[in-house]
């Protein structure tokens, strides 16, 4: 039986707690949650979990958070180095490499020069280094999309989902593309994104959300 709405809310609440407890970005915490979903169910989205699988994911996230909080307490009480000075993990570096490619930096030289500008070192070694470079790359990626770009992509996705025209804040769009090509998870993602944009004065979307929106847009109009 598919996971309940309450379970899904608990998972995403734990993602936020995971980010605050570890010092990682919310995007990183979300990717880690997706990894855990894949570990227990073979797919990466919480919306496709069964109730039992969702319980396992919740327990795993809670365990990670408990360990992170314990580690933070140990650091504070023993005055050892802060997590930002700990060595970057392979997963952090992999996420960073993907973001480099997303912004068009596909050679080692370009990546190393960018790191030199941001952290004064050609290679990010510590967790703090990785986070600084990630933030700079994410800002670059987000700037690639204008308000009109986001408006067009979201309006097309909303129309494809329901066949109706939507106003996303900048314009009202309608298209001639066929409907019914979005998965249930993609429809839920688009609804959540629309609510986020509709209730905020400014659009502050993460690179992860923009990448997913662009994937959906490319799927609808290849």
* One domain for residues 33 and 54: yes
* One domain for residues 98 and 59: no
* One domain for residues 20 and 38: yes
User: Among 140-144, 204-208, 211-215, where is mean pLDDT lowest?
Assistant: 204-208
* One domain for residues 92 and 71: no
Among the residues of 2-126, which ranges form H helices? 5-22, 26-41, 51-78, 90-102, 108-119
Q: Which tokens in the block code for residue 96?
A: 């960073």
In DSSP terms, which residues pair with 2 in a beta bridge? 50
Query: For the chain, what percent of residues have pLDDT higher than 70?
Result: 79
SS (H, E, C) 146-173: CHHHHHHHHHHHHHHHHCCCEECCCCEE
The predicted structure's pLDDT at residue 118: 93
Residue 80 has pLDDT above 60, yes or no: no
* One domain for residues 152 and 136: no
Q: How many domains would you assign to the chain?
A: 3
Q: Which of 80, 103, 125 represents a domain boundary (last residue)? A: 80
Q: If you average pLDDT over residues 57-72, what whole number do you get?
A: 79
* One domain for residues 195 and 212: yes
Domain that holds residue 184: 147-217
With respect to residue 61, please indicate whether it lies within any of the assigned structural domains: yes
CB atoms within 10 A of CB 190: 23
Q: Which of 143, 160, 175 represents a domain boundary (last residue)? A: 143
Residue 202 has pLDDT above 70, yes or no: no
Do 33 and 43 contact (CB within 8 A), yes or no?
no
* One domain for residues 32 and 50: yes
Average pLDDT of the chain is: 77
Q: Which of 57, 80, 103 represents a domain boundary (last residue)? A: 80
Q: Which tokens in the block code for residue 121?
A: 């070192």
pTM for this structure? 0.49
Write down the residue that tokens 């979990």 correspond to. 49
Quote the Cα angle for 216-219-222, to 5°.
135
With respect to residue 222, please indicate whether it lies within any of the assigned structural domains: no
- Three-state secondary structure call for residue 81: coil
Q: Which tokens in the block code for residue 113?
A: 């020069």
Residue 203 has pLDDT above 70, yes or no: no
The predicted structure's pLDDT at residue 208: 79
* One domain for residues 192 and 170: yes
CA dihedral 20, 24, 27, 31 (to 10 degrees): -110
Write out pLDDT tens, residues 133-155: 998 998 888 888 877 788 788 87
């Amino acid at each position: 039986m598919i996971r309940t709405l309450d379970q899904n809310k608990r998972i995403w609440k734990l993602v936020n707690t995971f980010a605050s407890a570890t010092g990682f970005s919310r995007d990183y915490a979300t990717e880690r949650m997706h990894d855990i979903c894949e570990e227990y169910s073979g797919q990466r989205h919480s919306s496709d979990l069964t109730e039992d699988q969702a319980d396992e994911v919740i327990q795993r996230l809670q365990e990670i958070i408990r360990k992170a909080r314990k580690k933070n307490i140990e650091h504070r009480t023993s005055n050892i180095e802060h997590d930002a000075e700990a060595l970057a993990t392979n997963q952090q570096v992999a996420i960073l490499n993907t973001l480099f490619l997303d912004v068009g930096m596909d050679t080692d030289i370009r990546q190393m020069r960018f790191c030199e500008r941001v952290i004064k070192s050609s290679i990010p070694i510590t967790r703090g280094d990785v986070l600084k470079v990630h933030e700079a790359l994410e800002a670059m990626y987000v700037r690639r999309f204008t308000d009109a770009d986001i408006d067009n992509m979201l309006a097309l996705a909303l129309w494809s989902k329901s066949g109706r025209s939507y106003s996303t804040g900048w314009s009202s769009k309608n298209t001639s593309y066929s409907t019914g090509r979005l998965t249930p998870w993609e429809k839920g993602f688009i609804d959540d994104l629309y609510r986020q944009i509709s209730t905020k004065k400014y659009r502050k979307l993460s690179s992860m959300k923009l990448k997913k929106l662009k994937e959906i847009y490319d799927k609808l109009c290849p």
